Amino acid sequence: MWYAIVGEDVPDSLPKRLAVRADHLARLQVLQNQGRLLLAGPFPSVDAADPGSAGFSGSLIVADFDSLQAAQEWAAADPYVTTGVFRSTRVKPFKKVLPA
């Protein structure tokens, strides 16, 4: 089943994000290689594709896991969680409707 993982950043998270971004992306790449990643990306803090020094306010990941618990455990082990980039993380079941 698909699960949406929504992380909300701490204030001024950009330096922390940049420090562990490669590790975060490596974990997402594993999901993608397994065909389990629907989408992933950050929320810019300003209305721009490249927010520059304004950074990001959080991230969204939609991926396939065997259970809610498995999705929660995966999210809890993410570098953005373990290093304090995210102040909070929500994991919710997600039903993909479109595109078909």
Q: What is the pLDDT of residue 61?
A: 98
Q: pLDDT tier at 73 (50, 70, 90 boundaries)?
A: very high
Cα(42)–Cα(85) distance, integer angstroms: 12
Q: What is the pLDDT of residue 25?
A: 98
pLDDT in tens, 10-49: 999 999 999 999 999 999 999 999 999 999 999 999 999 9
Q: What are the two backbone dihedrals, phi and then psi, of residue 48, each rounded to the nearest 5 degrees?
A: -160, 145
Residue 50, by phi and psi: left (phi above 0), alpha (psi -120 to 50) or beta?
beta
pTM of the entire structure?
Answer: 0.96
Q: What is the pLDDT of residue 94?
A: 98
pLDDT in tens, 39-60: 999 999 999 999 999 999 999 9
Cα(58)–Cα(43) distance, integer angstroms: 5
